[in-house]
Amino acid sequence: MGCVFCRIVAGELPAARVLETEHALAFRDLHPQAPTHLLVIPKEHVDAVADLGDDQAELAGRLLLACRDAARAVGLDSYRVVTNTGADAGQSVFHLHLHVLGGRPLGWPPG
Ligand code: DGP
């Protein structure tokens, strides 16, 4: 299995997990861009938002709720949820993931 996030889901690679549900996993980003930087991923492999099917609406919703719960679990009450889709948008790992960033003031618009 080549996908690094699939390997984290499978327990083959370590990660600082903060939340696990039946469908989603949240863990700390290896290269944090804020004092708290979590990644929330579906356990099922999907490359990116652009690859979500119409039949995956429930999964997409569950991911957003997992962001909410992961943020609560680490005590964040103000945070940003963002997902990069495609290389030009900054996606480097092609397993859908939502970044949850907080713990400092965040500028807008993002770069
Ligand atoms: P993106 O550039 O949007 O595809 O974000 C990928 C993020 O994944 C990036 O912030 C670094 C993080 N990352 C890459 N490999 C690993 C890993 O093996 N473990 C963890 N915890 N994070 C990783």
9 CA from centroid of ligand 1 (Å): 13
Tens digits of residue pLDDT in 1-39: 699 999 999 999 999 999 999 999 999 999 999 999 999
Which residue ranges have their beta carbon within 6 Å of ligand 1? Answer: 4, 13, 15, 27-31, 39, 84, 90-93
CA–CA dist 71, 81 (Å, integer)? 10
Residue 111: band (very low, low, confident or very high) from pLDDT cuts 50, 70, 90: confident
pLDDT score at 110: 87
Per-residue tokens: 103? 């713990």
The fraction of the chain above a pLDDT of 90, given in percent, is 97
Residue with tokens 């290896």: 30
Domains of the chain: 4-102 (3.30.428.10)
In this prediction, residues 88-109 reach a mean pLDDT of 97
Centre of ligand 1 from the C-alpha of residue 99, in Å: 9
**Cβ of 78: how many Cβ atoms within 10 Å?**
10
The pLDDT score that the predictor gives to residue 12 is 98
Whether the CB-CB separation of 58 and 22 falls below 8 Å is answered with no
Residues 6+ apart with CB under 8 A from 29: 37, 38, 39, 99
List of E strands, 1-111: 17-20, 24-28, 36-42, 79-82, 98-102
Between the CA of 8 and the centroid of ligand 1 the distance, in Å, is 11
- Asked if 98 and 67 touch (Cβ cutoff 8 Å), the reply is yes
Would you state the pLDDT for residue 1? 63
